[in-house]
């Protein structure tokens, strides 16, 4: 996700959260515009569910679309990026002979770094991959399960509460992915934390809907409720721990 630099100060999670709230306000307007072609103004994920028979593909499409919509509202700071690139070029190539670097050496370095994307140990670093982030995989798997559960409900029984619940669960993975896209360096770790907190809020909202409203409806039985509640409750707690670990890394440099 592109960000640019807003000033020379390193923003903490609260400064980023205020900024992201404004981003969400603008992106919500775009979401409403995208869904306006639906006569019933259904959530966008319903359309994605229709277009993708594989629920994993539907979840991934939702996450990708959410990231693209919000990314559109982050300003690009091309001047800073150009300056950064110039500094890197100066650092690498000033007073160094051209033949000091060989393609084979560069290829060897790249090959030596690629394994980190496959390693669980580097999941929480800029060298890792979100596919190895346990809490994200939990959120993605739960979202797939929720979509399967939703499709099993008769269309006439699907009310707004049911739709809102699915929306909140889908949002969890999208917000985790949004945070991960900022990486783990000090400059943007606050944004990672702020986005991850929004995943936590979505999990809490999903639990509230489940406990206060869905527990009473006819289209969810006791065993389904226990399963959904257990998985969402565990995910919420794990996200809370993840937020705290990111905070420790921001303030104390723990990894």
The confidence score (pLDDT) of residue 70 equals 78
The confidence score (pLDDT) of residue 88 equals 36
pLDDT in tens, 49-86: 989 889 999 999 999 999 988 776 676 654 434 443 44
- Tell me the C-alpha to C-alpha distance, in Å, between residue 76 and each of 19, 109, 154: 15, 30, 45
Confidence bin at 107 (pLDDT 50/70/90): low
Say which CATH number the domain at 51 has: 1.20.1440.60
The confidence score (pLDDT) of residue 71 equals 79
The residue segments making up the domain with residue 241 are 13-75+133-252
In a domain, 224, yes or no: yes
The confidence score (pLDDT) of residue 44 equals 85
Backbone angles phi, psi at 76, to 5 degrees: -95, 130
Q: In this model, does residue 6 exceed pLDDT 60?
A: no
pLDDT in tens, 159-188: 999 999 999 999 999 999 999 999 999 899
Q: In this model, does residue 106 exceed pLDDT 50?
A: no
Mean pLDDT throughout 100-108? 48
In a domain, 173, yes or no: yes
Within 13 Å, how many C-alpha atoms sit on residue 190's CB side? 16
In a domain, 104, yes or no: no
Element at 87 (helix H, strand E): helix 78-93
Helix (H, G, I), strand (E, B) or coil at 76: coil
Report the C-alpha gap between 32 and 24 in whole angstroms: 12
Confidence bin at 35 (pLDDT 50/70/90): low
pLDDT in tens, 182-228: 999 989 999 999 999 999 999 999 999 999 999 999 999 999 999 99
Q: Which has the closest alpha carbon to 210: 230, 239, 238?
A: 230
136: exposed, middle or buried (C-beta count within 10 Å: 0-12, 13-18, 19+)?
buried
In a domain, 123, yes or no: no
Residues 6 or more apart from 137 whose CB is under 8 A from it? 131
In a domain, 62, yes or no: yes
In a domain, 89, yes or no: no
The answer to whether 27 and 74 are in contact (CB under 8 A) is: no
In a domain, 5, yes or no: no
Residues 6 or more apart from 253 whose CB is under 8 A from it? none
The answer to whether 45 and 167 are in contact (CB under 8 A) is: yes
In a domain, 84, yes or no: no
Domain count, the chain: 1
Q: In this model, does residue 93 exceed pLDDT 70?
A: no
Q: How far apart are the first and last CA of the chain?
A: 22
The answer to whether 69 and 27 are in contact (CB under 8 A) is: yes
Q: Which has the closest alpha carbon to 34: 69, 84, 71?
A: 69
The confidence score (pLDDT) of residue 30 equals 67
């Amino acid at each position: 996700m592109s960000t640019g630099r807003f000033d020379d100060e390193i923003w903490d999670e609260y400064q980023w959260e205020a900024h992201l709230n404004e981003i969400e306000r603008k992106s919500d307007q775009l979401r409403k515009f995208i869904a306006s072609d639906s006569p019933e103004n259904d959530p966008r994920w319903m359309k994605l569910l229709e277009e993708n028979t594989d629920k994993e593909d539907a979840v991934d499409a939702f996450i990708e679309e959410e990231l693209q919509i919000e990314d559109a509202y982050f300003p690009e700071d091309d001047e800073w990026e150009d300056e950064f690139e110039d500094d890197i070029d100066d650092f690498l190539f000033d007073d160094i002979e051209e033949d000091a670097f060989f393609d084979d050496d560069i290829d060897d370095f790249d090959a030596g770094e690629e394994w980190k994307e496959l390693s669980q140990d580097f999941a929480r670093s800029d060298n890792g991959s979100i596919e190895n982030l346990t809490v994200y995989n939990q959120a993605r798997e739960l979202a797939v399960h929720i979509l399967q559960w939703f499709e099993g409900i008769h269309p006439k029984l699907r009310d707004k509460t049911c739709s809102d619940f699915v929306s909140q669960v889908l949002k969890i993975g999208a917000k985790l992915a949004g945070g991960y896209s900022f990486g783990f360096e000090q400059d943007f770790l606050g944004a990672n934390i702020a986005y991850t907190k929004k995943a936590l809020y979505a999990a809490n909202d999903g639990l509230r809907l489940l406990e206060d409203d869905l527990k009473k409806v006819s289209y969810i039985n006791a065993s389904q409720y226990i399963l959904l509640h257990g998985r969402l409750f565990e995910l919420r707690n794990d996200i809370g721990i993840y937020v705290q670990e990111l905070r420790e890394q921001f303030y104390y440099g723990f990894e």
